[in-house]
Structure 1
């Protein structure tokens, strides 16, 4: 009697398990798979996940492993819904190649013979000059454009050709990039400052090398100061001390004294006790030959608590 009741319970469990597995198979094949395919917009076939073959294999597992099979899939789906119920937000994840540092073995033979490009031009040894030019071209040349410009007057035609080709390419890139960023600044929303900040930092790195003609240098300095003006109008706090200094110095180089004076005043107002605030005013007064303002600024610097570098200290010694 006990055995017969156990057999009935066992058969009931098997039938219920089979019914559950069958309902799962039919629901997946007839409803879930077409719904997933329609949501994914897949017209050529089913998705690689949760397709009809997957539901068939799960059905066989449920039939061959009564109770355990359905419970396994049910708990797996429940865990997925509780833990992975929303998509991962990758908006703040940055994949930057700049963080990858490649360690390469030093080329001792090449580095033993390295000399500055200026010295190679002065010595005028064709072999050394060409080797230095090729080594410079292989590196990031944006900080070496002024030195490459010197090679244009070299007696070695091949070296001067290298220099002309590199300069032409880099300066064209600079012109196009500045024009594109300047257009983006005109189209920015009132609170956006990203393009101005990028343009200020990018242009100063090239303009400080004085590789353009006077007319073109003045043109780009005007774009630089206009970008700084735009940034100042939107958010003055985004103008760092370094950006104030670069705008002042570039304006001084093209003898835009009124514009340089305006930015020196703004830098003094925002960074009153910083060394560049004094040195830029000293350079402006010297360029204008304004002795009174020069010595007033110099005396104010000596009375201040600003830490003075060697160059400024030497200046104080000369004029004291």
Structure 2
């Protein structure tokens, strides 16, 4: 009896995924493997992930604070253009595929990743390195090695260009983006990481001199300075953020974060009062912060 039910379930899964993902067979096979490995739950989970309509829905890619820059193969070009959204992969199924008891699915996912700009999937690759399937782990290590090589080469080229020309915002943004990705790659020891953080902060500082209304750059520089323990620099940057972007709630929240870090509670409350008096329509995050500190906690 159980065998019959199981067979019917498999057939239904095959029919449903065959119809829903007829335009994307690779996606269909991946989701079918999930459904077959995780009865019922595996069948429903991918449908909920995709909104139930069969259209692939990509998660926003975290490729740095300047999303319109992407590292290309720097052996052949110095351009850093935006990625083709149509070629971006769905990270959620990738993560799920690594848990499927089907080594062929895992290996196929890793091979597909090797064909993509794997920089956007570092977290998935790190997870795959420790996979029990040695071939999947080997593919992940190969992809990470390739990422390290590209980042190192891009960093070397951009550092030279930066020293020669510190007045090009495009170059500064590209260099900042590469530095951030290199720091988050996990390839660095603490001493080297700190060195690159100082460089990153300096590049962002120069960018803010040229473009003093770049909110993303302010936020990144403030966070980096706090990590380095450069509290005076972080405070000066946060004050500049508020001065140049008085209608951005993040300017107030960043300055409050600096004052909280250095335990200057009175200045924090003064900034909170400024935020309350501003005409800004606050987000849920900002409202939660305002309510928290308004209660005198």
* TM-based fold match above 0.5: yes
In the alignment, which residue of structure 2 is the partner of 1:299? 273
| Residue in structure 2 matching 1:157, options 90, 111, 134 | 134
CA distance in 2, matches of 1:287, 1:116: 38
In the alignment, which residue of structure 2 is the partner of 1:247? 221
Matched, 1:218 2:194: yes
TM-score of the superposition, structure 1-length normalised? 0.55
CA distance in 2, matches of 1:126, 1:218: 41
In the alignment, which residue of structure 2 is the partner of 1:112? 31
- Cα deviation, 1:266-288, whole Å, max 9, x if unaligned, reads 21221122122122223323333
In the alignment, which residue of structure 1 is the partner of 2:75? none
Which structure carries more helix by proportion? 1
Contact 2:107–2:136 (Cα < 8 Å) also in 1: yes
Q: CA deviation at 1:119?
A: 4.7
Q: CA deviation at 1:131?
A: 4.4
- Cα deviation, 1:158-196, whole Å, max 9, x if unaligned, reads 3333222222221231122122112112112x7544421
Q: CA deviation at 1:304?
A: 1.7
In the alignment, which residue of structure 1 is the partner of 2:285? 311
Comparing both chains, which one has the higher relative contact order based on Cα–Cα distances under 8 Å and sequence gaps of 6 or more?
Answer: 2
Contact 1:207–1:250 (Cα < 8 Å) also in 2: no
In the alignment, which residue of structure 1 is the partner of 2:146? 169
CA distance in 2, matches of 1:137, 1:297: 48
In the alignment, which residue of structure 2 is the partner of 1:99? none
CA distance in 1, matches of 2:108, 2:100: 12
For the pair shown, the structure with the greater C-alpha radius of gyration is 1
| Residue in structure 1 matching 2:245, options 271, 274, 288 | 271
In the alignment, which residue of structure 1 is the partner of 2:205? 229
Q: Which secondary structure does the structure 2 equivalent of 1:144 belong to?
A: helix
- Cα deviation, 1:233-264, whole Å, max 9, x if unaligned, reads 5x244x51122222222333444433322321
Matched, 1:133 2:52: no
Q: 1:224 to 1:277 in 2, by over 3 A?
A: same
CA distance in 2, matches of 1:312, 1:206: 31
Q: Give the number of equivalent residue pairs.
A: 213
Contact 1:143–1:206 (Cα < 8 Å) also in 2: no
Gap regions ≥5 residues in structure 2: 1-21, 33-45, 47-91
Gap regions ≥5 residues in structure 1: 1-103
CA distance in 2, matches of 1:278, 1:157: 49
Q: 1:185 to 1:158 in 2, by over 3 A?
A: same
CA distance in 2, matches of 1:249, 1:287: 11
